[in-house]
Structures are given as structure tokens and as C-alpha cells.
Amino acid sequence: MKSYRAIAEIVGMSISFCRTAALAFRQNLLEMETQRRSMTRKGHRLLKAKAEKKTDLSKAHIEYITSPATLKRQTGMALGVRLAEFLSKFPEKKISLTTFCRIYKKHQIRNKRIKITKLPDRVVRQRIKKQTAFMAKQLHEMIDRGFRIIFLDETLITKSTIPKREWTPKKQRLDIDFSQFSREVIAIIASISREAGVDMIMTFPKSVN
């Protein structure tokens, strides 16, 4: 960038005049940039207000669209079908599919992988509740009689259960010696108690029935 002296020599003006003119020009640029940003923010607010006014949905409408009950009832429906159902229930409201999707996004409703599970029926749930109450009663009786309570569980380890990745320092990898892991499966029974912590660990060549 040329100095003020060089600029003054080119335009034939004094150095102080060139310096003042340059500072004024820079100030004008800053003011124009500030005004542009202010107008941009104002425009965004106007567009947002216009979009909100256009949808004209009350809190009750939003809660209907995003409620867990509605989402559960609409399981398997495409977004367009869900919107059509809303419009049939509230014919006085006019919203687009884009607005409908925006409502989902705002309330963090996303298309996620379905979790496959098996829920017990009413009879099974009642039986489980009775058995749990019976075992809890027996457990308290044993504690009152001075028995030490041990919590025991079994786990199976195979080659497929060994992790494939692990955090290690730079230029290093974790080595696992498979020569000591010749069997297809190892069953481990471990137990803990309040008095001893880890109470017992046993290994078996297969699952223990």
C-alpha cells in the first residue's frame, strides 16, 4: 500500500489532506458495512415474522403436531399424509409441507432407527410383578436371618466380542495374543457382595445352565 507521501505526490495534494481523506473514506466504508449488516438482520427478522404470521398456528396446534400420542398414532405415515391429517382436523389452518417439516426440526423430531423389542402382555406383567414381590420378601427375610447376599451373573466371551478398536498412543497399537484364546467361547461367572466386593470369579468352557 502506498504511503500518504507518495499519494500526495501523485494527486498533487498535501500529506495532511490525503491522510484526512483516507480516514474519512475508511470511516464511510465502516458505516456502510454496519448499515448493510443492520438491514440484513432486519430483513431476516421480517422474513421470520412473515413466516410465523403466515403459519398462524397456536400453541395447541403445535402441541398436537409434536405430541407423543400423535406421533405414535401416525407411525408409518409419510410426512405428506401427516400434514393432510392435520389439515383435515383443522381445515381453517393452511400450512405447507415445508412449514410442517420446520416444526418437526424446531422440536427436534427426527427420523430415527426403530428399536425392535418384545413387550410382555398384561398377564405376564402381573406374574412378573408377583414373582418380584415374592423374591423381595424372601431376600429381606434372609438378610434379617444374617445371610450374606451375593449377586451372581454369567457372561460369555467369544472372539467376536473382543473390541476391534482401542485408544492408543501415537504410532502404537494394542496387541491381543490369540494363542491363549483357542476355544470358541469362554463362560465367566462372577459374583459381588456388599462385604467382599468381588466375591468369586469362575470360568467354564461353555455356558452354565
pLDDT in tens, 182-192: 667 788 899 99
Higher pLDDT, 185 or 79: 79
CB–CB of 172/178 below 8 Å? no
- DSSP annotation of 204: E
Question: Can you give the pLDDT at residue 46?
Answer: 61
- Quick check: 187 and 205 in contact, CB under 8 A? yes
Per-residue b or e along 115-140, where b marks 16 or more CB atoms closer than 10 Å to that residue's CB: eeeeeeeeeeeeeeeeeeeeeeeeee
Q: Tell me: the pLDDT tens digits for 80-133?
A: 899 999 999 998 888 889 999 999 999 999 888 877 777 778 888 889 999 999
The pLDDT of residue 113 is: 81
Q: How far apart are CA 86 and CA 66, in angstroms?
A: 11
Of the candidates 153, 127, 149, the one whose C-alpha atom is nearest the C-alpha of residue 138 is: 149
- Report the candidate in 187, 197, 208, 104 with the shortest Cα–Cα distance to residue 150: 197
